[in-house]
Structures are given as structure tokens and as C-alpha cells.
Structure 1
Amino acid sequence: MKKVILITGASSGMGKETAKKLIHEGHIVYTVARRIDQMQDLLEMGGHPIKMDVTIEADIDSVIATILKEQGRIDVLWNNAGYGLYGSVEDVPLDQARNQFEVNVFGMAAMTQKVVPIMRKAKSGTIINTSSMGGKMYFPMGAWYHASKHAVEGLSDCLRLELKPFNIHVVVLEPGFIATEFGSVLLNQFENINKDSAYRNMMDKIIEGTKKSEQPGGSSDPKVISDAISKIVNSNKPKTRYKVGKFSKMMPWMRVYLGDAAFDSIVMSQM
């Protein structure tokens, strides 16, 4: 069945690769991101790219109005927009931390609030929220990113129960290491952190590990995400969670079953 799908954060990486697959499958795919120039290939494929910032309500209202005018419905919302903010809790300015939540949590919530009434009226729909394996475990220097993804997990669980009576599915996507721009963005952030930081040695270890994940074999191809999203979109009864990509199952398992002390020791042994 052809579905009307709205994807945020679709200018690169997981969002873009998945949009291509869904367009190829025959779905009507609206892709939104701030960098519309990077979505022209999706337009040429038959997609519907629109410039939008998830932190600007007027942008969201305009996109929703456009889709309803052109299609009359929204069957699937994939809240995929987000980024990782790294640095110690002591060093990261709070205005940057607030923006992390504005994009990763409140942007997702704003999109959801606009789309849910449409799905309720139709008595059907699927909302996919991108969390991370980092929403179930943690690394030092990633407190604000992990906090935002833990929030996505909690919000999604409550939302799932709230929307169950209306036949709206809420699915949490928990990627592991995926070959996207995430690593390069993280490395650029570290370049701007105070070289005299008390956490410099720890940051250097994180940088080293990130560079390894950027090498061939260090991360999973975004195709594993596009395959998972396709499965969710085309399912009448999707699972509540999809752990996809390198380390996505192993690391959260270690966090739960080894306990705090053992997991902390393993993580710090790499620092």
C-alpha cells in the first residue's frame, strides 16, 4: 500500500538513504531539513523535499499544511532530525545544552503534536522516533547527547500508551554505529573545545575511538537503517523497538546485565 511519509533530518545519512528506498518502493515521501540544497537528488527521484527547521513552529505548520493540501493525510512520521553534542558537563555551555534538547527532544515533540491529530482523525498511523543505543547506555563526554536520547526513550514509551487506543503505532529506532556525518560532526566539536580542559586526556581517547569508527568496518552501512524503516513502514504491526547497526544490541545488553560498576569499569578501561 502506498503511504504518505514525512521524514525529518533527511538531507544526509540515514534519513536520505531511507528516503531513496521508500521512494523507490513507490511511497509518497516528504523530506525536510535545513539544507534543502542537499536534497535535490531526492526531488529528481520523485520525492518532495522542503526546507524546514524542527525548532521553528511556523516552518512545521507550513510543511504540515502543504502535505495536507497535496495529499490529504500523513500515514507515517519519522522523527529523525538530531545531532550529538559532546564535551564534559563542566565545559559545555548551557545554551548549547539547551539547543541539544530543542532539536533532539522538543523538535521531535513539536512535530508529533502537529501530526497526531491528523492520525487520530484517520484512526491509523505510525510514528517512528530516532533514539540511539546511547539512549540505553552512556559514554563520558556525551552527557547532553545521552540525556536527550534517554528523554526520547521515555517520551516515546508514554506516547505509545497514549496513542494505542487510536490505532497509532509508536516505534523507537535505536541505531548503533552507523556510517554517517555523526562522527565528523563530533570531531569538529572537539576541535573547538578548550585545549586546556581538565578532561583533555579523556577527550583525546574519545577522538581516537571516533576516528576508528570512521574507518572501513568501524560502522554499519546506512542501508541497515533503510531496511529497518522500510520494514516498519510496510508492517501492520511493527515492533516497539528496532536495534540496528554495529554494537546496537551488545552495548545496551552489557549496560543492563553487567550492572553499573562492571559497565563503568569497561568504559573507563578505554579511557
Structure 2
Amino acid sequence: MSEPVLYIVATPIGNLADLSERAREVLAGVDYIAAEDTRHSGRLLAHFNIKGQMISVHDHNERQRCEHIINLLSSGHSIALVSDAGTPLISDPGFHLVRAVREAGYRVSPVPGCCAFIAALSASGLPSDRFQFIGFLPSKSGARSQALEVLSDNAETLVFYESTHRILDSLKAMREVFGAGRYAVVARELTKTFETIHGDSLAGLIDWMEADANQQRGEFVVLVQGAEKSQDEDAIDPESERILRILAQELPPKKAAGVAAEITGYKKNRLYQLLID
């Protein structure tokens, strides 16, 4: 830890045993620890008997802290950035600081570990080859519904964070936009005593949660199965096919497909495949 580096240190999301050996070494070895909530992180450090000088870096002061932290780095100090839980910057502060430190020419080094949405995705049983992490939805109902509308046709797994106070409202908004039958998984209190991972249709999840108030408490990851592709989604409308055939009489197939794509808006590869077929 003798050189000026900003370490991005992942911390446990519940079970303290998940703090890696490397993370402990870094936290014990740096000159300063920049924390989202110094009191919360102080308890974590005390558990591992780590004594470090702490700096608060949260949503309301992050931009102001950048200059101070860069000055510390310029003086040769090493610094670790931690959030309240999980990996910093993932729905947590740190983006502005990391960008400023990199632009100032100092090294930023990740110390990987826990991340709630990755943990939930790995245990959800939903497709994980393609997914979109959304994070927290807007708190106001209108904006929340609009955000979900944009995502309604996405084919990849959708991943959200949600709080105790809004979990039911968010699930009900998803039911309205995605449909009552869309399959989803709620992962609650991951790695903690009352960890719960429950999958059902959105309608079924809402019924399950309303029937047991305990399931409405804690920190949530909500994973929603992507929209199913309709069988005729790739069908070319008759007028576009007519244009393609006319062009194909005068041009090579690839050229005809390219021109037809510009005219019709269909993808060139899809039109080319139609000609080949």
C-alpha cells in the first residue's frame, strides 16, 4: 500500500464471513478509507479489528470530496473506497470520484467481492447469458410505469433493486406493464438470517407477499424474465418484401438487402436471409 492508489473494495451484503482476505489486507493497509456511511462501515472495520482514518463520501458530498482525495493521493497516500454493502458504484456513490481520480492520472484498482444483483442472478434460475441491470426504479408511480414501459419488450432478464417501502408498489407496476403472468423472482435479505429466494408469476408473487408481511421487509433484488419473442416478430410485411424482390432483380443480393434495409427499416441480415431462402 506504499503507492497512491484508490482501491474499490467490495464488502459483505450481509454475512460478514464474505469479506475476502485480500479486502481485509487492503482495508488494514491503506492510509484512508472513504465510506458512504462512516458509522456503518466503522462497525464492519471494528468487527475485523481494522483501525483506519475514515472520510465520508456519499451522494451529497461526493463531488466536493474529489479534490480532497486527489490531494491525498498526490501526497502519496493510498485510499480504499467502500459502500454500505456490496460493490461500490453499483447503485451507490463513487462514479464521480473514480472518474476524477483516473483523469488526475492515479491508478484505480478493484478489489472484487460481493454484489447483490450478481448473487441473486446466480441463484434465480433465470437466463444469465444476457441480462440488463436497472437498479432502483423511480419512486413516483408515473415515472416508474414509464420506465417499465421502455423495458417491456426486452428479451433479456431484467434486474432491479427495491426497498421495503416500495416493493409491493413496484411489483404491482410490473404486473400492470409486463402482464400478470410474467415470471419473476424476488431475492430478499441475501446472505442474511432470513434469506428468501422465491419465484412465481408477478401476480403470484404479489399474492405471496401480501399474505405474509414478513416477506415485505428487508432489501430486495427483483429479477424479471425477459419478454418472449412472438413467432411472427421477424416476419417481413408484404410491401417490404415486394420492394426487396424488385431490387433483387437489378442488384446482387447483399446490395439489394442493404438498399431495402434503408428503405424499410428492417435489418439488412434479415432481408438478405429472406432472399437466400
Normalising TM by the smaller chain, what interval?
Answer: 0.3 to 0.5
Higher relative contact order (CA 8 A, sep 6+): 1
Q: When you count strand as a share of all residues, which structure comes out higher? A: 2
TM-score by length of 1: 0.37
Q: More helix by proportion, 1 or 2?
A: 1
Q: Which has the larger radius of gyration?
A: 2
